[in-house]
Homo-oligomer: A and B are copies of this chain.
Amino acid sequence: MQKFDSSMMDFEERVDIDDFESEVMERIYSKPLLIKRVNTTSQIAIVGANVCPVESLDYEVPENELVNEDWRSRRTVQIFQYILLKWAFALIIGLSTGLVGVFNNIAVENIAGFKLLLTTELMLKHKYYKAFAAYAGCNLGLATSAAALCAFIAPAAAGSGIPEVKAYLNGVDAYSILASSTLFVKIFGSIFGVAAGFVVGKEGPMVHTGSCIASLIGQGGSRKYHLTWRWLRYFKNDRDRRDLITCGAAAGVAAAFRAPVGGVLFALEEAASWWRSALLWRTFFTTAVVAIVLRGFIQLCSTGTCGLFGEGGLIMYDISAAKVVYSTPDILAVILLGVIGGILGSLYNYLVDKVLRTYSIINERGAAVKILLVIMISLLTSICSYGLPWLATCIPCPADASTSCPNTDVSGNYKSFQCPPGHYNDLASLFLNTNDDAIRNLLSTNTVKEFHISSLFIFFVAVYCLGIITYGIAIPSGLFIPVILAGSCYGRLVGRLFEPISKLDVGLFSLLGAASFLGGTMRMTVSLCVILLELTNDLLMLPLVMLVLLISKTMGDMFNKGVYDQIVKLKGLPYMEAHPEPYMKHLIARDVVTGPLITFSGVEKVGNILLALKNTGHNGFPVIDEPPFSDAPELCGLVLRSQLLVLLKGKAFSKDRVLAGNKVLRKISELDFAKAGSGKGLKLEDLDIQEEEWDMYVDLHPIANTSPYTVVETMSLAKAAVLFRELGLRHMCVVPKSQGRPPIVGILTRHDFQPEHILGLYPHVRFQQW
C-alpha cells in the first residue's frame, strides 16, 4: 500500500487503470500517461470499429450519512411517488417502444413496398435492365443513407446492439452506446437498412432502441437543457437504470416479434445478468403495454390506412392451419434437422466472428471506407436477389392456390418475375420480397410443391452467405431474421427431402429448421421457444420445437459460444461470467491485486485528493481512519471519483484537520451525487480550486460508503468472483488476514477478474482445469 502524497509521486510507476476515466483524462490533459497494465486488462472496447472507452457500473447500494439523511427526509408521499414513477416509466417505455415498433414496421413496409412495386411494374413491361437499375438503385440509396447515418452521427449504432445491451446489463457501459444520437440512428438506420433489401433484421436494433429509450427516460431531465426534476433523482443511479433498460430490451423484442411473453423471457435468459421477481413483473407490464399498442395500431390499420402494415395481425407467421401429425420417421428427421442445424449454426457464428474481425480492420480506415463497404455489400445483395431468380424455371400456378397466382401485389407467394402468365418464379418469390414476406412464404403450410428443391438450395446458400457478410457493416443489423430466413429455408429443404416418408407438413419442417438455426447460433432455449410459439401460433408443435432447440443448442455448444457472447468478447467488453473459471480456484484474491493502492485519510488534504484524481484513473478510493479519529488505522469506507468531484465542487473545506459533521450535509445534498448520463458527469476540469485551498482539509466521512463489501486476502479468487458477480459490485475491498498490517490490501475491479488479466499474471494456471 502506498499512501498518496504529492512528494511521493513517481510518474513512472503510478498509474493503475481500472476504468475509462484514465482514457478521458488522457484527452483532457493531453499528456500521455504511462499505462503499465494496459496489455493485461481490456478496458478498451471496439464499438463499431471505433476504439471507445468503457465504464463499469456500480449496482451496490451506497450507505453513508448523506444517503441516510436523504431517506430520512423523504416523506411517505415521496416514496409512494417513487414507486408510482417506476411504473409510469415502465408504461412510457412500453408505449414509446411500441410506437417505434409500429413506425418502423410501417416505414419498412411502405418503402420496400414502393421499391418492389416499381421493380415489378418494370418487369411486367419486360424492361429487365431498367428494373434492375431501379431495384439496385433504390437499395443503394437506402443503404448509403443508413451507412452515412451510422458513419457520421453514431458509429455505436452499427450492428445488432444486443451484445452491448447485454454487456450494459452485466455492468459495462460502452461509450455512447445508449446516447440519444445512437437512438436516432438506430431507428432510421434500421428502417433504411431493412428496406434496402439487406439480409438483416430489425429485431436486434429494436432491442437496442428499446434500451436507448429506457436509458434516456431513466436519465430523465437533461441538465444540459435545464430540464431536471427533483423527483427524477431517484433514478439517477446505475441500479434503477439497469432495471429500466431491462424493461426496454424486453419491450424491443416484444415490439419486433409481437411477442410480449417472448420479450420478457428474452430479457431474462439472454440479456439480463441479474434478475428478481419484482423486475419480472415490471418487465411483463412493459411488454403488455407494447402488445396493447401493437394491437391497437393493427386494428387501426386493418382498414388499410397505413399502407401495407397490419395485414399479419398479432401473429406474424401463422401456421396454425397445418395439421400437426408426426410419427417415428418424422422424429428422426427432426433429430437430424437439429444436429445439422446446430453444426451450421455454430459454423455461422465462427464465420461471423471471422468476418467481423476483418471488417473491424477495414472500418478503422474512416467513414468513407465504411460507406464504401456498405455500397459493395448492397450491390452484391442486389445482384444476388435480382440475378439468382433467373436460374429458376417457371412453375405453373397450382389450381387450388388460395391467393391469386401470379399475385399482383408486392407480397404474396407467387411472383411472376420473367414468367409467362399463369406461371410463377419461386426464387423470385423469396428474393424479391421483404424478409418478413420471404419467411412467411417459407413457412406457408399445405403448399408442399410450391418451391423447387433446387430453388430452396440456392436461396439457402445465398442467404446463409449474405447473412454472414452483411453483419458487421456500418448499418444497424439484427441477426434474428437472417438466421430465421436461412433456417426456415433449410428446414423446408429437409422437409422436401423427407417428404416420401414424412407426415409432417413442409411448413412445419420450415419452422423446425428456423428453430434449429436459432438454437445453433443464439443458444437460447425457453425464450426462443416462446418467441417461435408467439410468431407462429402453433402450440401443438411445442414438443418438437423444444426437441430441436435442445439438440441444436447442444451441438452448437460443442464448437463455440453463442453469437452474442462471441461479439461481446470480440469487442473487448469486460463481461463477468456467471461462473468463475476453474483456474480461479487456485488463486487467492491477493494474487490479482496489482498496482500501488491510493488511499485517503478520513479527513484529507484537498491537494492530495486533486493530485490523486488528476494523476490516476482510479474510480474508487478507500478511506482510512487514523488517529486521532480512531485508535488504530481502520477502513472506514470507500469514496468514488464522482463523489469526490462533487465534494470538491461544493467546497466544504476547513482550515484544520477536524470532522465537518453536518456542515457538509448543509452544503451538498444527495441530489448532487445523482449519477449523470454516461460521460456527462462532473469532470476534473470543471473544478475551480484556488491555490490557497490546496492546503485545506475536507471531511470524507459523510460521503464515504461505510459498508463496502470486503473479502479477506486469502479468499479464493473463484469465490471472490462469485461475490463480485452476484452482488453487482464495481469495487471490492481486499482486507488483510493477519493483524498489525494496514487495514486494506487493495481493491479488485471487474478487470481484475478478466481471464486476460489473470492469465497475464499467471500464465501457468491456464492448464489447471480443476
Give residues in A with beta carbon < 8 Å to B.
61, 63, 68, 71-72, 74, 79, 260-261, 264-265, 268-269, 275-278, 280-281, 284-285, 287-288, 291-292, 295, 313-315, 320, 525-526, 529-530, 533-534, 537, 539-540, 542-543, 546-547, 550, 553, 578-579, 585, 630-632, 634-635, 706-707, 709-712, 714-716, 718-719, 722-723, 726-727, 735, 737-740, 743, 770
Contact = CB atoms under 8 A, between A and B. Distances in A.
A295 B325 CA distance: 11
A39 to B, nearest CB: 30
Nearest to A737: B634
A540 B714 contact: no
B710 A635 contact: no
Contacts of A281: 525, 553
A546 B770 contact: no
A634 B715 CA distance: 14
Given A714-B707, A719-B63, A737 B635 contact: yes
Contacts of A543: 260, 288, 291-292, 295, 314
B533 A265 contact: no
16 contacts: A61-B722, A63-B718, A260-B546, A261-B542, A281-B525, A284-B526, A287-B546, A288-B547, A314-B539, A314-B542, A315-B539, A534-B539, A539-B539, A630-B738, A709-B711, A709-B719
A709 B738 contact: no
A291 B529 CA distance: 14
Given A61-B719, A71-B770, A726-B727, A632 B740 contact: yes
Contacts of A291: 542-543, 546
Contact of A739 (B539, B578, B718, B739): B739
Given A707-B719, A737-B634, A540 B770 contact: no
Contacts of A525: 280-281, 284
Nearest to A735: B712
A288 B553 contact: no
Contacts of A288: 543, 546-547, 550
Contacts of A737: 634-635
Contacts of A284: 525-526, 529, 546, 550
A261 B707 contact: no
A716 B63 CA distance: 8
Given A585-B68, A709-B723, A727-B722, A526 B264 contact: yes
A656 to B, nearest CB: 25
Contacts of A79: 770
A9 B403 CA distance: 91
A178 to B, nearest CB: 23
A682 to B, nearest CB: 27
A257 B710 CA distance: 46
A72 B74 CA distance: 56
Nearest to A535: B539
B63 A738 contact: no
A679 to B, nearest CB: 29
A508 B714 CA distance: 62
A709 B732 CA distance: 13
Given A260-B546, A533-B539, A719-B63, A276 B578 contact: yes
- Which of A540, A543, A723 lies at the interface centre, i.e. has the most chain B CB atoms within 10 A of its CB? A543
B706 A714 contact: yes
Contacts of A72: 770
A751 to B, nearest CB: 22
A72 B768 CA distance: 9
Contacts of A722: 61, 727
A705 to B, nearest CB: 10
Contacts of A706: 714, 716
Contact of A632 (B265, B634, B738): B738
A63 B539 contact: no
A539 B318 CA distance: 11
Nearest to A578: B276
A578 B632 contact: no
Given A72-B770, A261-B526, A739-B740, 15 more contacts: A63-B718, A261-B529, A268-B268, A287-B546, A288-B550, A314-B539, A533-B539, A630-B738, A634-B738, A635-B712, A707-B712, A710-B712, A723-B727, A726-B726, A739-B739
A547 B579 CA distance: 37
Contacts of A529: 261, 284
Contacts of A718: 61, 63
Contacts of A261: 526, 529-530, 533, 542
- Which of A63, A288, A295, A715 lies at the interface centre, i.e. has the most chain B CB atoms within 10 A of its CB? A288
A585 B529 CA distance: 42
A265 B723 CA distance: 26
Nearest to A719: B707
Nearest to A722: B727
Contacts of A735: 712
A537 B630 CA distance: 68
A174 B738 CA distance: 39
Contacts of A71: 585, 770
A170 to B, nearest CB: 12
A253 to B, nearest CB: 13
A63 to B, nearest CB: 5
A566 to B, nearest CB: 16
Given A709-B723, A740-B739, A275 B275 contact: yes
A738 B295 contact: no
Nearest to A543: B291
Nearest to A540: B314
Nearest to A717: B707
A562 B277 CA distance: 13
A281 B265 CA distance: 13
A277 B578 contact: yes
Nearest to A61: B719
Closest 10 CB pairs of A and B: A288-B546, A71-B770, A291-B543, A284-B525, A726-B726, A707-B716, A707-B715, A739-B739, A537-B539, A707-B719
A706 B717 CA distance: 12
A295 to B, nearest CB: 5
Given A261-B530, A295-B543, A285 B550 contact: yes
Nearest to A313: B540
Contacts of A526: 261, 264-265, 280, 284
Contacts of A579: 276, 278
A278 B557 CA distance: 12
A269 B276 CA distance: 9
Contacts of A530: 261, 530
A536 to B, nearest CB: 9
A528 to B, nearest CB: 10
A356 B589 CA distance: 50
B630 A547 contact: no
